[in-house]
Structure 1
Amino acid sequence: MFLAISKIPPDVKIQRHLTSIHIDDWLREDLFHLRWWLLLCLLIFSVYVWWKIVDKTRLAEISLYAALTTIVTLGLVEIGEELILWDYPTDIIPIFPPLTSLNLASLPIIFSLIYQYFGTWSSFLLASLGVAAILCFILEPIMVWGGLYQLLKWKHFYGLPVYTIIAICIRLVLIRIFTTEKSSS
């Protein structure tokens, strides 16, 4: 019985208990309530709009940008929640990843469209910084006001460099990937 676990570690028991509480709260407080529907509609609307305006001739490239942005964003959201920097009181689903429409769809979609439309570094940087400012100083406060986002040990302006650096780093990764691909052919 090499793989048998004779005793469940205490931290796993605590995590199981917290997950159970979180799911119970989600079923009671979030599922099918107005904020939940708002998040779900925002998610569907974001994907629909993105699909309508994405450059289908570059679909794989732009989708890769959006997917990498989603991965990075979900990782940072999980870190922020784990470190109790912020909270998303309403999730579309009650377990990881925290599927809020902002981090699942809106951020990756918005930044992938910046990637699509702003081809030069200077225009990309300006657009990324502008969108980061809109996210930090307009959309995040609206989400706080609407009860969809809660700042605990975080300030809105902290996100400005974070959003911008994410956009830049993912663009650099894609440039590297496609440069390597072209030089290998």
Structure 2
Amino acid sequence: MDNEEIANRTLDLTLEITRLNIYEWRYLDLFTWQWWLLLTVFIIPWIVFIKMVDKKYLPETMLLGTWVIIISETFDHIGYELGMWTYLVEIFPLFPRFEEVNFSVLPVTYMLIYQKYRDWKKYIQAIAIAAGIFTWICEPILIWLNLYVPLNWNPSYGFPIYIAIGLITKWGTQKIYSLAKAKD
């Protein structure tokens, strides 16, 4: 096979997978109670954020949240593609899986913690508590509800990852803002 044939075959397979994902979503996920639950989980954190955000820190907070989205979505995509876990219900068929967590719950949680706990010690404590809640309360509930299925993964492995995400994003955000202030 030459490169063009390989590219065409890859495109055909990708389109077939997309077609099957849309079919599965349309006939198995859409408007089920799990779908409504996930949609609610996607929307509610942003409503809470809008009500609680301190506009004084909004650009800084949004930068941190954007990084949380990028990092969590990247890790989630890698783990999913490597068969470490799977998700049984999706809100949208063409978006990355588990967008209600990666695009809502995680960034909003980290942003609100960042805006409330400006010093490192309290921030680390709050992040560790959030990581524990995500790891040992939220993930077991998602498993129990048959929304998330760990395959080659122990959900406890997520604890240090949740903490690392919080530390990296706070450090990076503060670094960028200190560089920006130094230029003024």
Give the match for residue 126 of structure 1.
125
8 Å CA contact 1:43, 1:101 repeated in 2 = yes
1:91-110 map, 5 Å? 91-110=90-109
3-state secondary structure, aligned to 1:87: strand
Contact 1:70 1:104 in 2 (8 A): yes
RMSD (Å), alpha carbons = 1.4
**What aligned pairs does 1:1-185 form with structure 2 within 5 A after superposition?**
7=5, 8-185=7-184
- The TM-score normalised by the length of structure 1 is 0.93
Deviation, structure 1 residue 117: 0.9
Structure 2 residue matching 1:45: 3-state secondary structure: helix
2:87–2:147 CA contact under 8 A, matched in 1: yes
For 1:51 and 1:142, the matched residues in 2 are separated by: 26
Task: Give the letter for the 1:86 counterpart.
Answer: W
Give the structure with the higher percent helix.
2
Give yes or no for contact 2:85–2:151 (8 Å, CA) kept in 1: yes
**Contact 1:78–1:97 under 8 Å retained in 2:** yes
Q: Which runs of 5+ in 2 are unaligned?
A: none
Q: CA–CA distance in 2 between the matches of 1:156 and 1:29?
A: 26
For the 8 Å contact 1:69–1:166, the answer to whether it is kept is yes
Contact 2:35 2:89 in 1 (8 A): yes
Amino acid at match of 1:140: E
Q: Supply the distance in 2 between the matched residues of 1:168 and 1:179 (Cα, whole angstroms).
A: 16
Measured in 2, the distance between the counterparts of 1:148 and 1:78 equals 16
Aligned amino acid, residue 45 of structure 2: S
Taking the aligned partners of 1:131 and 1:30, their CA distance within structure 2 comes to 29
Q: Which moved more, 1:91-100 or 1:28-37?
A: 91-100
Residue 63 of structure 1 deviates from its aligned partner by 1.3
**Contact 1:90 1:100 survives alignment (8 Å):** no
State the shift of 1:99 in Å.
4.5
Q: Distance in 2 between matches of 1:87 and 1:112?
A: 27
**How many angstroms apart in 2 are the aligned matches of 1:112 and 1:42?**
17
Number of equivalenced pairs: 181
Residues in 2 aligned to 1:100 and 1:60: alpha-carbon distance in whole angstroms: 22
The percent identity for this pair of structures is 32
Unaligned runs of 5+ in 1: none
Decide which moves more: 8-17 or 46-55: 8-17
Q: Is the 8 A contact 1:65 1:170 kept in 2?
A: yes
